[in-house]
Amino acid sequence: MSERVRIFDTTLRDGEQSPGISLDAGEKLEIAEQLARLGVDIIEAGFPVASEGDFEAVTAIAKAVHGPVICGLSRTQLHDVDRCWDAVRHAARARIHVFISTSPSHMEHMLKMTPAQVINETRSGVGRAREHTEDVEFSPQDATRTPLDFMIEVLVAAVDAGATTLNIPDTVGYGIPWDFGALIQYVRKHVPGDYVLSTHCHNDLGLATANSLAGVQAGARQVEVCVNGLGERAGNAALEEVVMALKIRPDQFPGLETGVNTGELARTSRLVSRLTGYPVQYNKAVVGRNAFAHESGIHQHGVLAERTTYEIIDAADVGQTGRQIVLGKHSGRHAFADTLAKMGLTIQGDALNAAFVRFKELADRKVDITDADLEAIVAEELGTSVAPEFTLEALEVSGGTVGVPRARVVLARAGEKLESSSEGDGMIDATCKAIRAATGVDGTLTDFNVSSVTGGVDALGDVIIQLDAGGVKVSGRGVSTDVVEASARAYVNAVNKVLRVRARSDQRAAEVGP
Ligand code: KIV
Ligand code: ZN
């Protein structure tokens, strides 16, 4: 009989705390649906008391996503706990995750509480959560810098008040595998009761995955992770790394298994990267584009003779096949929609029409269309559940080594055409300026990243930008075989997000009143 290691995904909560990431409710829902398809056990959907947007997103996910437990984060304050429950209660299985800091540094400088007060808060927060649901998780924040005796006292109080999962966060990524493993063992030995022990490791020393695995070896049966290792600062343990380590080394983790459908890992990684605007580093374990690339002749020779000579993971096992779809420029709308459905992409109405137009354009320019290409254009059209305010209708640029680079853009907004031209330092700069003039949305480009979706000279260029528009920070993404066009699409995408964020805060201000 095998024993389950529960995969607790916190991409939508801790992952969203990565600098510069801001997902709207539609994007969060899309990621949550893919996480359910991936087979994670628990989705931490957000921190409902943190903002109205977070509350709405957690509520939407609790209502719509089936399969995993839907969890919300909460401080110990009773109002926080109640607010968290209001959001997650719609789920078939709902969890409240209560946390409070326990290290001397956090208690003194942040909480300004004595150890006795922290124990009381733990009891009251966990107790209140338990009035709402039988599934309550508790975390002593900054556990790895908390004196052992005090941490045990807090954990015993949490179990006493009804916690069913005890999560041990290495909040600042201070742990080293063997001492983190020893910590997990210590908790198991000194905290009596019926609970699941969990790890939550940050990556400040690049050890988050190693520490999580040491925790599992020491008895943890839940691991908190983020897709692509996203999260505060250097991020959290990467879901794909932990899952594949458990799968590839059963000799080290005998009798343990996860419920993850590993064939969905690559697609999940791409989706999260696309919606968060965080590129995946090329040599990222498991999901990086080079994870299965062999450069040296000796390695290539070995892999051609027998894959396992230089590969411990079969690319197909993690969905990294770059499968070529059987669609071409003569394919019809029906075949297109059918192929998307087989890939698990649900897209309808205007978004389907727009994606089909993009597909046809791409098929004219590119011979080999892969799953990744198709996902990229569909995601750009799908992007969010809300119709975009501006769409790019036409782009004309001139530039090179002689003369001033110029761009002319035509955008559409509610049936109206808006045209603008500009000069710039280069064709991309001129294009962004022209879009700024046409939309009236001013902003500073704080980051610009271009990569190719697949290989080859006709590859789709994938542009990710970060835009700061008067304090509203958003990411934008665009794909095209032409990098200037991809940049224009990314810029228009970011402008649409800025307008959505502004509209939401105006609406909230109107609700609250003067
Ligand atoms: O890193 C941390 O301590 C956290 C807790 C809220 C679990 O994210
Ligand atoms: Zn964390």
CA 74–ligand 2 middle distance (angstroms): 13
Residues 6+ apart with CB under 8 A from 305: none
SS3 sequence, 260-320?
CCHHHHHHHHHHHHHHHCCCCCCCCCCCCCCCCCCCCHHHHHHHHHCHHHCCCCCHHHHCC
| Whether residue 99 has its Cβ less than 6 Å from ligand 1 | yes
**For the chain, how many helices (H) and strands (E)?**
16, 16
Residue among 95, 170, 200, 232 whose CB has most ligand 1 atoms within 8 A, to mutate: 200
Asked whether the predicted pLDDT for residue 360 surpasses 80, the reply is: yes
Q: Give the chain's mean pLDDT.
A: 90
- Residues written for the chain: 514
| pLDDT confidence band for 1 (50 / 70 / 90) | confident
Q: How far apart are CA 351 and CA 429, in angstroms?
A: 28
Ligand nearest to the CA of 75: 1
Q: pLDDT band for position 323 (50/70/90)?
A: low
Tokens 């697949």 correspond to 454
Q: What is the 199 CA–ligand 1 centroid distance (Å)? A: 10
- What integer is the mean pLDDT of 205-216? 98
Average pLDDT over residues 124-130: 98
Please name which of 384, 418, 415, 392 lies closest in space to residue 500, comparing C-alpha atoms: 384
Q: Looking at the CA of residue 17, tell me the nearest atom of ligand 1.
A: 8
One-letter amino acid of 126: V
Q: pLDDT tier at 504 (50, 70, 90 boundaries)?
A: low
Pocket test for ligand 1, best of 76, 126, 197, 202 (most atoms within 8 A of CB): 202
pLDDT in tens, 491-500: 998 898 888 7
pLDDT at 453 over 80: no
List, for residues 389-447, the tens digit of each pLDDT value. 899 999 999 998 888 999 999 999 988 999 999 999 999 999 999 999 999 999 988 88
184-210 residue pLDDT tens: 999 999 999 999 999 999 999 999 999
Higher pLDDT, 300 or 275: 275
Q: Tell me the average pLDDT across 33-46.
A: 97
- Ligand 1 neighbour 72 (Cβ under 6 A): no
- For residue 292, give the amino acid letter: F
pLDDT reported for residue 455: 64
Centroid of ligand 2 to alpha carbon of 172 (angstroms): 8
Mean pLDDT calculated for residue range 113-124: 98
Q: Considering every ligand atom, which ligand is closest to the CA of 232?
A: 2
Higher pLDDT, 7 or 300: 7
Residues 173 and 234 sit within 8 Å (Cβ to Cβ) = yes
What three-state secondary structure class fits 406?
strand
Q: Is the pLDDT of residue 340 over 50?
A: yes
Q: Which of 381-395 are b and which e, b meaning 16 or more Cβ less than 10 Å from the residue's Cβ?
A: bbbbeeebbbbbeeb
Cα(513) to ligand 1 centroid in Å equals 34
Centroid of ligand 2 to alpha carbon of 317 (angstroms): 29
Name the closest ligand to CA 72: 1
Our mutation pick for probing the ligand 1 site, out of 16, 54, 99, 110, counting the most ligand atoms within 8 A of Cβ, is 99
Which residue in this structure is represented by tokens 């990431």?
21
Q: Structure tokens of 406?
A: 């110029």
Q: Which residue's CA lies nearest to atom 6 of ligand 1?
A: 99
pLDDT band at 466 (very low <50, low <70, confident <90, very high): confident
Query: In ligand 1, which atom is closest to the CA atom of 141?
Result: 3
Angle at 79 between CA 132 and CA 104, to 5 degrees: 100
Q: Contact 386/29 with Cβ under 8 angstroms?
A: no
Per-residue pLDDT of 152-176, as tens digits, reads: 999 999 999 999 999 999 999 999 9
- The residue with greater pLDDT, 82 or 322, is 82
Task: Work out the pLDDT band at 68, boundaries 50, 70, 90.
Answer: very high
List all residues 6 or more positions away from 123 whose beta carbon is below 8 Å from its beta carbon: 157, 158, 160, 161
Asked if residue 145 has its Cβ within 6 Å of ligand 1, the reply is no
Q: How far is the CA of 169 from the centre of ligand 1 (A)?
A: 6
Specify the pLDDT at position 454: 66
Q: Closest ligand 1 atom, CA of 73?
A: 6
Helix/strand/coil percentages in the chain, nearest 5 = 45, 20, 35
Closest residue by Cα to atom 5, ligand 1, is 141
User: Which pLDDT belongs to residue 451?
Assistant: 76
Amino acid identity of residue 118, one-letter, is V
Query: Closest ligand 1 atom to the C-alpha of 142?
Result: 3
Q: Classify residue 197 by its DSSP letter.
A: E
Q: Whose Cα sits closest to atom 2 in ligand 1?
A: 171
Any ligand 1 atom below 6 A from CB of 139: yes
Question: Greater confidence, 356 or 330?
Answer: 356
Q: How confident is the model at residue 376 (pLDDT cuts 50, 70, 90)?
A: confident
Q: Which of residues 246 and 2 earns the better pLDDT score?
A: 246
* Cα radius of gyration rounded to whole Å, the chain: 24
Percent pLDDT > 70 in the chain is 93
* Alpha carbon nearest to ligand 1 atom 1, residue: 171
What burial class does residue 31 get, using C-beta atoms within 10 Å of its C-beta: 0-12 exposed, 13-18 middle, 19+ buried?
A: buried
Rounded Cα–Cα distance for residues 10 and 200 (Å): 10
**Which strand (E) or helix (H) includes residue 492?**
helix 483-512
In this model, does residue 485 exceed pLDDT 50? yes
The region of weakest confidence among 260-269, 310-319, 501-510 is: 501-510
Whether ligand 1 lies within 6 angstroms of the CB of 171 is answered as: yes
Q: Is the pLDDT assigned to residue 477 strictly greater than 90?
A: no
CA distance 171 to 159: 21
pLDDT at position 514, please?
45
Q: What local confidence, expressed as pLDDT, does residue 336 receive?
A: 84
pLDDT at 133 > cutoff 90: yes
The residue that leads in pLDDT, 66 or 448, is 66
